Structure 1
Amino acid sequence: MSSELAIKAVNLSKCYHIFEQPRDRLKQFIYPRIQGAIGQPTKQYYKEFWALENINFEVAKGEAVGIIGRNGSGKSTLLQIITGTLTPTSGSVETKGRIAALLELGSGFNPEFTGRENVYLNGSLLGLTTAQIDEKFDAIAGFADIGAHLDQPIKTYSSGMIVRLAFAVQVQVEPDILVVDEALAVGDWLFQKRCFQRIEKLVSDGTTLLFVSHDQESVRTLTNRALLLNHGKSQAWGTSSDVVLEYRRLLHEEEMAYFSSLIPEPAKVVHETASVDENEIEPNTDISAVDSRVSNARSSQLEFGEGHVRITGVRVLDCNDQDCAIFSPGDTLKIRVHCKTSEPASNLNVAIRIRNKEGVKIYSWGTLNQDMSMQFSGNSDKSFWRKNISKNEEFYVQFECDCPLGMNLYEVQAAVSHEETPDYSNQRILHWIDEAAFFQVLLRKDEYFFGGICDLRVHAQWSN
């Protein structure tokens, strides 16, 4: 393996034998040997389940890689093979350097030992001497922040306390490779923030990260490449933003397959073809110079949905309803989403999401959010959700606000969905478009200046 690589997986596969009855396991152990000895064809008494099949990827030193996929797709199996707790059926995986893994809650802890004793136990398993653990103990205890519970048995801990202590030990050993599974999800928001800050520091210091999460935004922002697993196979491998989009497509297709099984004639997915270079828009590009291919051709490569209500266009407008690509904080910002039906529709929600060029979701909001407020106040008769729209009808929804955003390039995503109930509890995406439109926000530094991603409209007062 190259010295520049931290992890290399080649044709990695893992097969499990599934026995219908306990006695079949004994049959498989005895009968094939007898059958082979007397020259008879051997019989198989189990079914094969391939948790992983021919997985290939390489991770460079210091790289942050996300692994995503539905439950049962093989993510945990892959991590266990990489960390050495499982042996592959075929293929190989090579790793270079010390690996710290946070896989299953409390793995490596003895429930009868105190937290303090488990710190030393876990540290020794990671290759640290007692003197090294002594040196790091205060930092570990401070990060875990569980107070007097540190001297209580682990079996008395809550799930959040266990993951606090486990994460504190893993990150303080400064591993070459850090593997993090969904365990962090049990922590509170403040602790998760501290964890992500620590992970980002480790990555910036050269630690290789394998990060598994169902939070698509975390994968997009914390990693630069990602692997999508589906039924044990590699479905996508590339930049995190592209793989997350493919994951959303996969989830949508599976959702549509479920709904299609409930109706006689499944809805047809409408596809369009287009060709625009993904790198055509640079962060400092004058957006007003980008032609209509960006909002039409580019977005048609990044869309999915059933198609009986489709988004036909998204426009960014100024206070005079003129197309505009550059705004300043405080300017009126309007985003108009044009739609068309191919059959009668109702119970709709038209929504937008705004992201900056770093991929961070700044805001998401839809007509259903407004409808829910109207319903709460007892004035839901005129809600958009109750509106009946005819076949082949064209309509638009306009979102308007005073621009509160900081200086950056922003992407608009647009979606129209069917909401079975007006509360986001039963949603079906009808059409989704990534990169539906773009705009920039610039600051008039001589008039008004602030730092950060949004303007909190702060005012200062002082005493005489």
Structure 2
Amino acid sequence: MCSDYAIEVNNVSKCYHIYDRPSDRLKQSVFSGLRRMVGSSDKPYFREFWALKDISFKVKKGESVGIIGQNGSGKSTLLQIICGTLNPTSGQVKTQGRIAALLELGSGFNPEFTGRENIYMNGAVLGLSRKEIDERFDEILAFADIGEFVEQPTKTYSSGMLVRLAFAVQVCVEPEILIVDEALAVGDALFQKRCFERMEKLRTNGTTLLFVSHDQESVRTMTNKAVFLEHGVIKFSGTSADALLEYRKTLHEIESAKLNETARHLKEKARKNREETQHVIEANNVVSTDEIMSDGEEKPFSERLKTFSFGDLDAEITEVEVFDANNEPCSHFDPRDEVRIIVHCKSHADLKHLNVGLRIRNKEGVKIYSWGTLNQDISIRSGVKAHGEVFWERSFCKDQTFKVQFTFTCGLGPNLYEIQASISEEGKPYYAEQRMIHWIDEAAFFTVTIEPKTYHFGGVVDMGMISELAE
């Protein structure tokens, strides 16, 4: 009986041998064979690098799964093993159905062949007869949109043309399993739109999708589950929203560690400078009134830090409230209503250059809008908004509480909406140098409905469109 799983990855590991010198590779090849012949133990001339270690997960037929992680986490290696272009050191992969994969730019193309010849060659590799390729050729050519270049060698193609042709071939054969790596990033905006539409159509028709991207919003919207890889092991596996949250937490921890290490070096340098100054003072019998700075108290740990939040916690969001135009608590709105969101904050250290922000997402995970005090500051500084206080220039004392109100006309289509809130320190008066102090998912929710007999529009947002008879 056929399995319900399109992809089964069981205890897969991949080890590479790292040689410090080219001669070590030769020594390993020659001496290891001689030692085995005489029965002595083998002395390795290499270091082991485990790109993947004991990876296991299953993907059901028709599911869409994202693979996320930093560069070097093992994502591409894993995809190559699943596709069969790379053998694992241990473990096994089982797949059911025809696989179409877009892993590397132009992979599978012969640069000396024309686009037409490569279409037929790749179609044959995917198991199509020449007649089947003939039937799909016009569709492939229309999707790739490379025009007369189809008769030119692919070595003359730009990176965008290569990926368009490669993707067109893969998706037009209607695979049971589609595997897409970062290659789509080189395409233009219109082509990316067509790619996502085609992938959505394939998903609807039951194609299993394995999708790798650094674009978190694409992973959130294109997949319902995700696997988070870190240093070749699975750090988290679950829903896409939960996996992306863990990914963002990890990125924050890495960035914080780098900043703390830089701060430690600067502090050590300052300490040495003070000691040298003190030696000069003592040598000249001068009494110094300067005191050497102590490490100070440890940063307070917030008891309110929960599953859906992360940050350095020099300040924290204590509450997020949603009100209507009459300042009454409200969680249900018409698109024409005014919405007021108040973010309550408390600083745990002396702070400046803050940005308090919001992000609104619908229940499908699509980011609808993001805005922060820094966005308004930019408008004030640039003269787009004539008046107002620049929030970025304010300073906040330790244990100070403050709140920020965001007001807007709803304008959203019927759905459930999540509010994410954040406090960040911005090194410049625009988005360039950011330290996340506190981020919280699911800070609040509200719903929007429409009375179709009195007011109606389709889509995500009301654009206030007006229709009239043109003269």
TM-score after normalising by structure 1: 0.91
Provide the residue aligned with 2:373 in structure 1: 367
Provide the residue aligned with 1:318 in structure 2: 324
Q: Distance in 2 between matches of 1:88 and 1:170?
A: 24
Matches within 5 A, 1:139-158: 139-158=139-158
- Structure 1 residue 449: deviation in Å? 1.6
Secondary structure of 1:163's partner?
helix
Secondary structure of 1:263's partner?
helix
- Structure 1 residue 2: deviation in Å? 5.0
Q: Distance in 2 between matches of 1:133 and 1:398?
A: 59
Provide the residue aligned with 1:426 in structure 2: 433
| 2:429 is the alignment partner of 1:398 | no
Provide the residue aligned with 1:133 in structure 2: 133
Provide the residue aligned with 1:344 in structure 2: 350
Q: Distance in 1 between matches of 2:263 and 2:33?
A: 51
Aligned to 2:415, which of 399, 405, 408? 408
TM-superposition CA deviations, 1:352-391 (whole Å, max 9, x none): 0001111111101111111111121297993111111111
- Contact 2:63 / 2:224 at 8 angstroms: preserved in 1? yes
Q: Percent same amino acid at aligned positions?
A: 58
Provide the residue aligned with 2:220 in structure 1: 220
Provide the residue aligned with 2:236 in structure 1: 236
CA-based RMSD of the aligned residues comes to 1.8
Q: Runs ≥4 in structure 1, deviation > 6 angstroms?
A: 378-381
Secondary structure of 2:420's partner?
strand
- Contact 1:272 / 1:301 at 8 angstroms: preserved in 2? no
Provide the residue aligned with 2:292 in structure 1: none
- Structure 1 residue 36: deviation in Å? 4.1
TM-score after normalising by structure 2: 0.90
Provide the residue aligned with 1:115 in structure 2: 115
Q: Distance in 1 between matches of 2:387 and 2:454?
A: 42
Q: Distance in 1 between matches of 2:388 and 2:408?
A: 24
Question: Structure 1 stretch 49-58 or stretch 128-137: which is displaced more?
Answer: 128-137
Secondary structure of 1:368's partner?
helix
Q: Distance in 1 between matches of 2:298 and 2:21?
A: 42
Q: Distance in 1 between matches of 2:387 and 2:116?
A: 57
TM-superposition CA deviations, 1:396-453 (whole Å, max 9, x none): 1111011111111111000010111122111111000000001111213332221221
- Contact 2:347 / 2:398 at 8 angstroms: preserved in 1? yes
Q: Which consecutive unaligned segments of at least 5 residues does structure 1 have?
A: 274-298
**Amino acid corresponding to residue 357 of structure 2 in structure 1:** A
- Contact 1:64 / 1:210 at 8 angstroms: preserved in 2? yes
Q: Distance in 1 between matches of 2:197 and 2:235?
A: 30
Q: Distance in 2 between matches of 1:272 and 1:214?
A: 32
- Structure 1 residue 42: deviation in Å? 2.4
- Contact 2:300 / 2:348 at 8 angstroms: preserved in 1? no
- Structure 1 residue 271: deviation in Å? 5.2
Q: Distance in 1 between matches of 2:99 and 2:299?
A: 47
**Amino acid corresponding to residue 355 of structure 1 in structure 2:** R
TM-superposition CA deviations, 1:314-340 (whole Å, max 9, x none): 011111222111111121101111111
- Contact 2:309 / 2:438 at 8 angstroms: preserved in 1? yes
Provide the residue aligned with 2:43 in structure 1: 43
Alignment CA distance shift 1:198-1:392 (3 Å):
same
Aligned to 2:456, which of 442, 445, 449? 449
Alignment CA distance shift 1:91-1:303 (3 Å):
same
Provide the residue aligned with 2:270 in structure 1: none
Q: Distance in 2 between matches of 1:272 and 1:221?
A: 32
Q: Distance in 2 between matches of 1:381 and 1:397?
A: 14
Alignment CA distance shift 1:267-1:155 (3 Å):
farther
Alignment CA distance shift 1:4-1:73 (3 Å):
same
- Contact 1:270 / 1:305 at 8 angstroms: preserved in 2? no
Alignment CA distance shift 1:385-1:132 (3 Å):
same
Matches within 5 A, 1:168-317: 168-264=168-264, 268=299, 270=301, 272=303, 300-317=306-323
TM-superposition CA deviations, 1:208-234 (whole Å, max 9, x none): 110000111111111111100000000
